[in-house]
Structure 1
Amino acid sequence: MTYRFSIPTRVRAMGRASLLGWSLLAAAAAAAATGGDHAAVDSLIQARRYDEARALADKFLADRPRDVQMRFLKGVIQLETDRRSEAIATFTQLTQDAPELPEPYNNLAVLYAGQGQYDRARAALESSLRTNPSYATAQENLGDVYARLAADAYSQALQMEGSSPAAAPKLAAIRSLFQGPGAPAAGPAALASAQAAGASRRAQAVAASAPAATPPAVAVAAAPAAPARPVPAAPAPEPKAAPAPAPAPVAASTAAPASSEAASKQAVEQAVRAWAAAWSAKDMQRYLDAYAKDFVPAGGQSRKAWEEERRVRIEGKTDIKVSLDDLVIGIDGDTARARFRQSYRSNALNVRSRKTLELKREGTDWHITREAVGNS
């Protein structure tokens, strides 16, 4: 059965020939809103005018062969026109040239799964999640691949002499997840499609609005001044004046917490912007010092392996520019959460994404304890 998907505004469930749902490259959606050539190719794909889209993409890439967004769109055209081997080559090269992006890995896994190469699909999805541990579509796809691998293992076990009688009900339970051979159950597939669709629509909405050249600082309200204590009048000889009443305690009690929270927000903002500046400057010492000692990298990596990987990725770029928009900070005692829109540009890549940093106070400084991409 033919694979069914829509590019780039939403994703539909795949046909029965595959376990997985397609994902989209957020960078492509952003480029479609800001670049005339990208938008034109995108529109032609939407209109199913694939020959024209391919011709325009090839013309663009003849002058700018390293453009990640256009290469991704070309991979989409190859998928739509059933040129699967060419699409595999395109997405494979993208994973090598832009390893920061999780989506090419995910789509490569879909292609492998469609060919029954589930071990290669698993490896591609694990690479996708190492790049973005909060990528829900890849995580669910990985679960589907694990289910297929488990079904194959139980099926082989049943064909062997001395197999356990428990293997048959286990195989039946896994097969109940699927409506037919190789087809995903409607519920999980529909959920994955909806998640990918929402992510793509959010990316387009973000790209449609031009980012401010300099993001505004977090607004901090001045702490209310404590009311002045009234000065009692000089006592008259007769009668003796009563002492002046003490000021109401309510206003005084609200001033200190407000001031403390405002100062904490300022300190967190400074820490987050210093982290982005160190990343842009490729200052690895300051960049790594921005993370707490108990920061645990996602994906099961050790702290040492994570640091080595970050050094390779950051120092390997000719230039990097990281800017932050729409920074929103929440404080809860000695912990904080900073949400913002991150724009990342290097010599080979230009992408925007939502990001969340969780921080904790260590002495007078704030350090990152967790980071996630998306609306975490």
Structure 2
Amino acid sequence: MSHPEKSQPAVGTPFAAHRAGQRLRQLSCAVLIAVGMGGSLSWAQADEYGEVNRLVRSGQYNEAMLKADQYLTGKPRDPQMRFLKGVIQTESGKATDAIATFAKLTEDYPELPEPYNNLAVLYASQSQFDKARAALEMAIRTNPSYATAHENLGDVYAKLASQAYSKALQLDGSNPAVAPKLSLIRNLFAGDTRSAPASARAPAPAVAAAPPAPAPAPAPAAAPAPTPSAAPAPAVAAAPAPAPTDTAQRDVETAVTAWAKAWSSKNMSGYLGAYGPAFKPPGGQARAAWEAERRSRIEPRSRIGVNVSDLNITTNGDRATARFRQDYTSDTLNVTSRKTLDLVKSGNRWLIVRESTGS
């Protein structure tokens, strides 16, 4: 779904979302989002956010709230600090205040999915599952690749189903089909292993995976035995042929780099051509509608930059998965996220068949 660009938020250096919470009672809560005000994020702003987050991590909620309020006195519309304030209110047990904070964020910045997700978390904690469902559907409509919101929505649907089965059992206890369904759902959540809610934490810096150790050099070829009529021929080491896996990984890396370059240069034929015929747009969207939406989001921008880093590629025959950090910048937005691309080999090309963002 396309969203009109607002004249406000150029987004600053982002923080990754932190997942915390028990299923249904707390769901998965995005803790920090990639938004800021007024163009590029300065070091001073980064220090402000970092200090508030440090206080939250150490459980000093009163001090964190004081600093957040002081910051917002001068920049009352700053979405990142407002989001942090909602996190502080949540961690402090002030659910009503947090709901008000996140709800106002969804009004002022409807293009951001994380406030909708956290709003749903709070509604679910109060057993307001219909409101939680509506908030999560908005998060997914805003970002169809938001995996956390999809998972949370599944949990909410399961809880609503549990309530409906319980009511059916109360009304007709003789129905033999209801009890097994109710038991199945209860067992599903009884086996949940997600940890209890944690304090908001800043993510550890992304660390690139160590490069693989170089393959041992091949032993030099043995010189032929001398013959009476000729001197021994000099030994010549044959150049090792590249391993198939190494070749495939390099080809996938080339495909990912070309995809990012086409996106950055607004080369729509190259960008859309990087997606294979089997690609299924997120959220069940039709391919033609998805392509039209991508054009409407990309072509009007005066500047786009897509940088790929921390690239990790795994291959299995003609299939591959590329996981990386994506830094996206444009005239209206600046956001960093983790992205996963699933690709298949078609002839001499690797084409994208699935794309997901976040955890």
Q: What TM-score do you get using the length of structure 1 for normalisation?
A: 0.67
Instruction: Write out per-residue CA displacement over residues 279-316 of structure 1, whole angstroms, 9 at most, x where no aligned residue.
Output: 22333222111111211234333322332333344346
- Mapped partners of 1:308, 1:229: distance in 2: 64
How far, CA to CA, are the matches of 1:342 and 1:95 in structure 2?
Answer: 22
5 Å-filtered alignment, 1:327-346, equals 327-346=311-330
Paired residues of 1:337 and 1:358 also in contact (CA < 8 A): yes
1:105-120 equivalences under 5 Å are 105-114=116-125, 116-120=127-131
Once superposed, what is the RMSD of the aligned Cα atoms? 4.6
Alpha carbons 1:132, 1:373 under 8 Å: kept: no
Structure 1 residues 222 and 287: alpha-carbon distance in aligned structure 2, compared to 1, 3 A threshold = farther
User: Which digits, 9 at most, give the CA deviation of each residue in 1:190-238, with x for residues without a partner?
Assistant: 51658x88xx86x72126x7x9xxxxx99998996984985975759xx
1 CA distance for matches of 2:185 and 2:60?
37
> 1:295, 1:369 within 8 Å by CA — same for their partners in 2?
yes
The structure number with the bigger radius of gyration is 1
Give 3-state SS (helix, strand or coil) of 1:35's partner.
Answer: helix
Aligned with 2:183 (options 173, 182, 194): 173
1:75-90 map, 5 Å: 75-79=86-90, 80=92, 81=94, 82-90=96-104
Q: How does 1:1-376 map to 2 (within 5 A)?
A: 11-13=20-22, 19-27=25-33, 35-45=46-56, 46-49=59-62, 51-62=65-76, 65=77, 67-79=78-90, 80=92, 81=94, 82-93=96-107, 96-98=110-112, 101=113, 103-114=114-125, 116-129=127-140, 131=143, 133=145, 135=147, 137-157=148-168, 165-166=175-176, 169-170=179-180, 172-173=182-183, 176=186, 185=190, 187-188=191-192, 191=194, 193=196, 204-206=203-205, 227=221, 230=224, 233=227, 255-258=240-243, 261-315=245-299, 317=301, 319-374=303-358
Residue pair 2:102, 2:119 contacting (<8 A) in 1 also? yes
Q: 2 CA distance for matches of 1:305 and 1:285?
A: 16
| TM-aligned CA deviation for residue 177 of structure 1 | 5.2
Letter in 2 for 1:256: A
> Shift in Å at residue 132 of structure 1?
5.8
How many aligned positions are there? 329
Pairwise CA distance, 1:276 = 1.1
- 1:329 aligns to what SS in structure 2? strand
One-letter amino acid matched to 1:255:
P
% identical aligned pairs: 43
Letter in 1 for 2:308: L
SS at match of 2:308: strand
Distance 1:192 1:320 in 2: 39
Gaps of 5+ in 1: 1-7, 179-183, 212-216, 237-243
Asked if 2 retains the 8 angstrom alpha-carbon contact of 1:112 and 1:118, the reply is yes
Where does the alignment leave 5 or more consecutive residues of structure 2 unmatched? 1-16
**What's the counterpart of residue 241 of structure 1?**
none
TM-score (ref. length: structure 2) = 0.70
What displacement does 1:272 show? 0.8
Match in the other structure for 2:13: none
| Contact 1:324–1:343 (CA under 8 A) maintained in structure 2 | yes
Residue deviations 1:296-354 (CA, integer Å, cap 9, x gap): 23433332233233334434655432211122333444333322222223445433333
Report the Cα distance in structure 2 between the residues aligned to 1:221 and 1:297, rounded to whole angstroms: 39
